């Protein structure tokens, strides 16, 4: 929350209006309170972004049912709670509802079953929700990032950030936050159906759609294995 408050102060100092609010998307009623506060502060809602999420990793046999429940509660039900809380306001403004998915919502690899199933789920939700909101002039945009600079890969299976853990993804594969943010803003402004962020992400999704056997070959040929849950080095 301190980081959000600092960002809000920075935006306010530059002449913008900003409001930082605590909100737990896994708690019934929290999103509704945040939406009401934003509407009261700004008078209307034009864009809502369902962004909260983290990744549970590990082979299926090592994960518990609670691991899967925790993953889906945040990544899937958090999106649904956000939709329920904001849909009436967005209909008034013919606004935009944005869901942050993932390339993992198109392609599954070893050790990503929990995270991938959550992102496959929101991709299906976006497809259906888009048809429901179109008559009301509300756009639904699915954002599917590849490897973007963020802290998500340093968050463990319980959603706890391990600040001292290095990012397991090679730097050359990671797209800077500012670059990804500009691409996301463009997609929202243009009311696009879906935007796959990062060039490697677009290539992966294209191959999965048109030659899924090639993805299987790459996983087998290069012995792709599950990455471990992030933990401090000893």
**In 3-state terms, what secondary structure has residue 192?**
coil
Report pLDDT for 66: 96
**In 3-state terms, what secondary structure has residue 92?**
helix
User: What is the value of pTM for the model shown?
Assistant: 0.90
Report pLDDT for 56: 94
Over the chain (234 residues), what is each successive 10-residue block's mean pLDDT?
Answer: 85 90 94 96 96 93 96 97 97 98 94 96 98 98 94 85 82 90 96 95 94 90 69 56
Return the CATH fold of 49-221.
Rossmann fold (3.40.50)
Query: What is the residue-wise DSSP string for 133-156?
Result: HGGGT-EEEEEEE-SBSSSGGGB-
Q: Is 91 a catalytic residue?
A: no
Kindly report the backbone phi and psi dihedral angles of residue 155, in degrees, each rounded to the nearest multiple of 5, phi listed first: -105, 130
Asked if 230 and 156 count as a contact pair (C-beta separation under 8 A), the reply is yes
Per-domain residue ranges for the chain?
1-43, 49-221
Which among 68, 91, 92, 119 is annotated as catalytic?
A: 119
Asked if 49 and 35 count as a contact pair (C-beta separation under 8 A), the reply is no
CA distances from 98 to 101, 133, 194 (A): 9, 12, 9
The kind and range of the H/E element at 100 are strand 96-100
Q: Which two tokens stand for residue 73?
A: 């509660």
Q: Is 92 a catalytic residue?
A: no
How far is 210 from 197, CA to CA, in rounded Å?
19
Helix axes 77-93, 30-42, angle to 10 degrees: 30
């Amino acid at each position: 929350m301190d980081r959000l408050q600092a960002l809000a102060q920075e935006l306010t100092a530059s002449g913008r209006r900003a409001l930082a609010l605590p909100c737990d998307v896994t708690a019934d009623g929290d999103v509704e309170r945040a939406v009401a506060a934003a509407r009261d502060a700004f008078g209307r809602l034009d864009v809502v972004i369902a962004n909260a999420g983290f990744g549970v990793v590990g082979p299926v046999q090592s994960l518990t049912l609670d691991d899967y429940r925790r993953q889906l509660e945040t990544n899937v039900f958090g999106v649904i709670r956000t939709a329920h809380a904001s849909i009436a306001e967005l209909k008034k403004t013919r606004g935009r509802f944005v869901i942050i998915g993932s390339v993992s919502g198109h392609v599954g690899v070893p050790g990503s079953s929990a995270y991938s199933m959550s992102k496959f789920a929101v991709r299906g939700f976006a497809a259906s929700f888009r048809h429901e909101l179109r008559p009301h002039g509300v756009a639904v945009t699915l954002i599917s990032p590849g490897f973007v600079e963020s802290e998500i890969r340093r968050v463990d299976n319980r959603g706890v950030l391990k600040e001292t853990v290095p990012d397991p993804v090679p730097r050359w594969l990671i797209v800077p936050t500012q670059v990804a943010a500009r691409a996301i803003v463009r997609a929202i402004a243009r009311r696009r159906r879906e935007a796959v962020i990062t060039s490697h992400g677009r290539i992966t999704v294209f191959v999965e759609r048109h030659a899924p056997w090639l993805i299987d070959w790459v996983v087998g040929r290069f012995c792709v294995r599950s990455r471990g849950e992030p933990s401090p080095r000893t």
